[in-house]
Amino acid sequence: MCTLVSKQGRVWRLDGLVLALLHLAAVSALAGERCAVDDRGHEVCLAAPAERIAALSPGATELVFAAGAGERVVAVVAHSDYPPEAAKVPSVGNHTRVDLETLLALAPDLVIGWITGNPAEQLERLERLGLPVFQIEPRGIEEIVSAIERLAHLAGSEATGGAEAARFRRGMAELAERHAESAPVSVFYQVWDSPLMTINDEHWIGEVIRLCGGVNVFANLDRLAPRISEEAVLATDPEAILAGGMGEENRDWLDHWTRYPELTAVARENLFFVPPSLIQRPTPRLLEGSRRLCDALEVARGRR
């Protein structure tokens, strides 16, 4: 039994049940409204931490799991293959076309959309239906860190998400320090084969190339993932060519360049494969992809 005295001198006695209810109310207030600004610059607020999350792209799924909220994911889309637990979550379509009826039946209290991946009209319709839609699309190392931290805040999993964000940031910083004085290596990164596409220096892969001491031969093109010609690649004569291919073990795109033995990258056998899931998704696995890319450029330096 506990006694409280009011300002008017009244004496109130509170039993254990009432005290427990007051404690619960205090905890609820602390764990109440959560707000975060998404990558559109829109503030999204939840009355309480998200309990049922729909992740509408493979990258969004990885980031939610990285934020420590994987057990709260109730809907994903096709190709959400990491972590393995994501395969057990119901799929509601693919990133370009979501089955809204199936999604709504799963009653999410937070939807994570991908700005350029999901159709804007579908995300807007979800918002009109009253669902909080948090749109992300990190384009650099710090933006990946920020995405993890913001998702963790919305889900109330700050401890786990913060630790993962810190681990990723620390690993990338260690790589940058290790290669700060490395001799430059000119690099062509092939992101697609038909049409032939690459990345510029505003893309996170361009940031990784710089971090590893590489020089992106198409750094200054206007688009993030511009189309180019084979002639343009031949004209730049890169010292190293890197590609992800269409699968985790597919080196066909690299084999294509062997028809040009005059290329420095071909002559020195500097044709390197990096699994696309490790380098072409802006998630914490980019750390492992970056390590492999840096190792490839070290090999290229050793072949001079």
CATH fold for the domain made of 179-302 = Rossmann fold (3.40.50)
Between residues 293 and 32, the one the model is more confident about:
293
* CATH code assigned to 30-169: 3.40.50.1980
- Asked if residue 162 lies in contact with residue 216, where contact means CB atoms within 8 angstroms, the answer is no
**pLDDT attached to residue 28:** 40
Task: Give the pLDDT confidence of 165-206 residue by residue, as tens digits.
Answer: 999 999 999 999 999 999 999 999 999 999 999 999 999 999
Please, which pLDDT band fits residue 248 given cuts at 50, 70 and 90? low
Please, which pLDDT band fits residue 252 given cuts at 50, 70 and 90? confident
Between residues 270 and 246, the one the model is more confident about:
270
DSSP state of 251: -
Give the mean pLDDT of 69-92. Answer: 96
Please, which pLDDT band fits residue 249 given cuts at 50, 70 and 90? low
- pLDDT surpassing 50 at residue 29: no
Domain boundaries, the chain: 30-169, 179-302
- pLDDT surpassing 50 at residue 21: no
- pLDDT surpassing 80 at residue 23: no
d(CA 176, CA 62): 24
- Cα torsion angle, 144, 165, 289, 210, sign: positive
**pLDDT attached to residue 70:** 97
- pLDDT surpassing 80 at residue 87: yes
Question: Do the domains spanning 30-169 and 179-302 agree at the CATH topology level?
Answer: yes
- pLDDT surpassing 90 at residue 105: yes
Those residues whose C-beta lies under 8 Å from the C-beta of residue 271, and which sit 6 or more positions away, are 240, 241, 243, 254, 257, 258, 265
Copy the structure tokens of residue 107: 């009653």
Q: What is the mean pLDDT of the chain?
A: 90
Give the mean pLDDT of 131-154. Answer: 97
**pLDDT attached to residue 32:** 81
**pLDDT attached to residue 46:** 98
- pLDDT surpassing 80 at residue 6: no
pTM score, whole prediction: 0.86
**pLDDT attached to residue 49:** 98
Give the mean pLDDT of 270-289. Answer: 95
- Cα torsion angle, 103, 108, 110, 112, sign: negative
**pLDDT attached to residue 267:** 98
**pLDDT attached to residue 247:** 66
**pLDDT attached to residue 12:** 37
